[in-house]
A and B are shown apart, each in its own frame.
Chain A
Amino acid sequence: MAYEKVNELNLKDTELRLGLPGTGQVKEEKEVSCVRSNKRQHQSDNEEESTPPTKTQIVGWPPVRSYRKNNNSVVSYVKVSMDGAPYLRKIDLKTYKNYSELLKELENMFKFTIGEYSEREGYRGSGVVPTYEDKDGDWMLVGDVPWDMFTSSCKRLRIMKGSDALALDSAL
């Protein structure tokens, strides 16, 4: 709390600890050293009871300018093309949380329906196969690797249709 008496202030924060690495952080952090004049730092009793002992972000820590934080918006643009469609699109992979969100968006974007996905058989049913080029230059089937691995290695997307799709299907 920002307004405890001076000699009690920050005691927890400044306690000398020689514990094992990483143990220094597991403690209640309700104190916020915010100096905005229109905010009160006082926490009512109610708040203390209902707030779980998780950390509150300390104001201004780590010392990174907000300008820099805002701009490190994690964008990860990849181009998306679909066989037969006249236009390329560009999407930010980080705006999706998982494959189904991504595929739904692609379906909307290019006006198609994708078939059922199974690990063994790929995308069956619609003759539409979403593929991507990874950082090694290999073309892979969307969905084969865990989502996080996909977002970090995907360089571009290509939605295959028609005979190419069938060829890929049978190859898999």
Chain B
Amino acid sequence: MAEEEDLSEMANDVERHLKLDPPKPSPPPPCPSHVLENVLENVLKFLTSRRDRNAVSLVSRSWHHVEAQTRFEVFIGNCYSLSPARLTRRFTRVRSLFLKGKPRFADFNLMPPDWGAQFAPWVAATARAYPWLEKVSLKRMFVSDDDLALLAVSFPGFKELVLLCCEGFGTSGVAVVANKCRQLKVLDLIESEVTDDEVDWISCFPEGETHLESLSFDCVESPINFKALEGLVVRSPCLKKLRTNRFVSLEELHTLMVRAPQLTSLGTGSFSSSTHDGAQGEQEPDYASAFRACRSLVCLSGFRELTAEYLPAISPVCANLTSLNFSYANISPDVFKPIIRNCHNIRALDSICDEGLQAVAETCKELRELRIFPFDPSEDSEGPVSGLGLQAISEGCKKLESILYFCQRMTNVAVTAMSENCPQLTVFRLCIMGRHRPDHVTGKPMDDGFGAIVKNCKKLTRLAVSGLLTDQAFSLIGEYGKLIRTLSVAFAGDSDMGLRYILEGCPKLEKLEIRDSPFGDVGLRSGMHRYNDMRFVWMSSCRLSRGACRDIAHTLPSVVVEAFGSDDDDDDDDEDDNADYVETLYMYRSLDGPRKDAPKFVTIL
């Protein structure tokens, strides 16, 4: 066993050293750095957690050096926090890279296009430095077809590509990856924008058996060559995860399932019959039987154009499912409930059906993660009374750890109930879509509810607040939210005090995103002692002035302060009046100073 060999090798090293260099009286014994490094290297190989590794690297210079030699997976939470050159200088043996680009609020059109987060400089640097690179995961990065092409030719052993919420590339880039990465195991395109270059990328996978274990393309909004996909699946014996897009019909899905009964995760595509012109009385495939044959299926998603009458076909797998995503399905409670009542082992559920939550609460006792998206994502729509749903979940699903919940209105009682019933919560994200909406029963602000969450959920690390909230809510967050790392605030608070409470109270805060809240310069300045220790702060449509932002930039040289808004066109007369106002502040710590690729509309203070 490798471990035993390592240990005995270490022991030999130590012995040899002691024999060769017995202590002499006058010159001091040579520092056993060689031995130390060897030992350390063998020990540190077992350390995978990056927090542990970061701690280890601070012990001493030699530890820093050895840790850098043995770090194979690098996670960079903000691509602008350091330059690619610094990465390749410090870590020499990287096999896996995870890069995150734009901040989350960019998803909601709050960031102008072409802001940055290009993958290009990273792929160029790693292509030179890490020819053995195997895995790249990118989130919210701009990735071009050229970048993908360079990746495909630079890393002969490349195995895994995961693109989450990315954009800038199309099916032609995907085709190059498919064709040239002969060791490819994972190709996951998730919630990314993929332009349709009218390239049959599925046919670009090479002939013969592939190493594919996971293929996800449900976000690709263009038809695919089904015959080619079928052929690919047939020659991919290791395939476990397959997430098709909405251009795959139910009949086609059936064919794939019959070819790949070993699947553990399936994205069902449209889940709708393609027979616009199917012959009447023609024998339909036995969908239930196909599902029954997939004995290992634990994760189901897709249902993009759900035809409800076919849904019972998934019943044979329901009892085995640990993860179910109905959030893209227009699913009514009558259809949802009988299905969910069979899903006793569900641990993660995504849905738009908040009327079905009672059924979820009664059945899904193992639920750890719940995400309920709005059926109609606008402020005014009338929805069912969601406080009841939340309350039911809290009473039924005591093991809940993470919840994202959209609703029109909420009550403090329901939120408090959740805080009391679900002590394992680490993530609580409640989005009351009606801005500034108070408790719809009492008319009071939602302070008490969120206060209860921070008080009772002692493991809480991520919080998103909404509804009518006064500074009192933030006072409670600052007082009790000692483990919070990520905080999202929108349309909340009364004054700078709200921001001060957070910045002075939450020592672990790393990511702060705020929009449309009355926090100004005083609040911003009160966090001066924190910004070096935070990954980023985003504040848009608040009350910030350029002067205050400039002060931060001057006081904290290792924090890059970006200001931008929509008034970059300077042909307006009252520009001067508004020149002081900062529409959007995005600031982040960086080891390498301001970036060189900032577009014109971004001012780096």
Interface residues of A (CB under 8 A from B): 2-3, 5-7, 9-10, 13-22, 24-25, 33-42, 55, 57-69, 71-72, 74-79, 81, 85-90, 135, 152, 155-156
Contacts and interface: CB of A to CB of B under 8 A. Distances in A.
Contact of B443 (A14, A19, A156): A19
Given A10-B541, A18-B444, A72 B352 contact: yes
Contact of A155 (B309, B374, B583): B309
Contacts of B113: 36-37
Contacts of B111: 35
B439 interface: yes
Contacts of A79: 273, 275, 307, 309
Q: Chain A contact residues: over half helix, strand or loop, or mixed?
A: loop
B543 A21 contact: no
B428 interface: no
A3 B574 contact: yes
Contacts of B438: 17-19, 21, 24
Contacts of A14: 436, 491, 493-494, 516-518
A70 to B, nearest CB: 9
Contacts of A40: 566, 569, 572
Given A35-B564, A55-B380, A60-B108, A87 B279 contact: yes
Given A35-B112, A36-B113, A78-B309, 11 more contacts: A13-B436, A21-B439, A35-B540, A36-B566, A55-B380, A61-B108, A61-B433, A77-B305, A90-B272, A135-B335, A152-B332
Contacts of A61: 108, 379, 433, 435, 490-491
18 contacts: A2-B567, A2-B583, A6-B520, A6-B543, A13-B491, A15-B436, A18-B444, A21-B438, A21-B439, A25-B437, A38-B569, A60-B110, A61-B433, A63-B490, A65-B191, A71-B304, A72-B330, A79-B273
Nearest to B274: A90
A166 B108 CA distance: 56
Q: Which 10 A-B pairs have the closest CB atoms?
A: A60-B108, A21-B440, A14-B518, A64-B377, A33-B541, A62-B433, A3-B578, A87-B277, A77-B307, A24-B436
B201 interface: no
B278 A88 contact: yes
Interface in B550-579: 564-569, 572, 574, 577-578
Given A64-B373, A64-B406, A3 B567 contact: yes
A75 to B, nearest CB: 5
B468 interface: yes
Nearest to A76: B330
Contacts of B72: none
Interface string B409-449: 10000000000000000000001011111111101110000
Q: Which one of A22, A63, A79 has the greatest number of beta carbons of chain B within 10 Å?
A: A63
A35 B102 CA distance: 15
Contact of B601 (A25, A37, A55): A37
Contact of A156 (B309, B374, B435, B441): B309
B211 to A, nearest CB: 29
B379 A62 contact: yes
Contacts of B580: 6
A86 to B, nearest CB: 6
A33 B280 contact: no
A94 to B, nearest CB: 8
Contact of A72 (B193, B377, B520, B544): B377
B581 A5 contact: yes
B112 to A, nearest CB: 5
Interface in B366-392: 373-375, 377-380
B74 to A, nearest CB: 27
Contact of A13 (B378, B434, B516, B545): B516
B330 A9 contact: no
B468 A55 contact: no
B545 A41 contact: no
Contacts of A35: 109-112, 540, 564-566, 583-584
Interface string B71-100: 000000000000000000000000000000
**B327, B566, B581 — most chain A CB neighbours (10 Å):** B566
Contacts of A13: 435-436, 491, 516
A78 B518 contact: no
Interface string B494-536: 1000000000000000000001111010000000000000000
B566 A41 contact: yes
Given A21-B440, A35-B110, A62 B470 contact: no
Contacts of A72: 328, 330, 352, 373, 375, 377
Contact of B377 (A62, A89, A156): A62
Contacts of B132: none
B276 A89 contact: yes
B14 interface: no
Contacts of B470: 16
Nearest to A66: B109
B334 interface: yes
Given A63-B490, A64-B374, A87-B279, A17 B541 contact: no
A20 B438 CA distance: 8
A58 B583 CA distance: 15
Nearest to B495: A14
A135 B333 CA distance: 11
A18 B443 contact: yes
A5 B543 CA distance: 9
A22 B581 contact: no
A21 B272 contact: no
B39 interface: no
Contacts of B327: 68
A64 B466 CA distance: 14
A164 to B, nearest CB: 15
A41 B541 CA distance: 13
B328 A86 contact: no
Contacts of A20: 443
A157 to B, nearest CB: 12
Interface in B51-82: none
Nearest to B492: A14
B226 interface: no
A39 B572 CA distance: 12
Contacts of B379: 25, 55, 58, 61-62
B279 A37 contact: no
B234 to A, nearest CB: 28
Nearest to A22: B440
B229 interface: no
B445 to A, nearest CB: 7
Contacts of A21: 409, 437-441, 443
B108 A65 contact: yes
Nearest to B520: A6
Contacts of B436: 13-15, 17, 24-25
B107 interface: yes
A54 B379 CA distance: 13
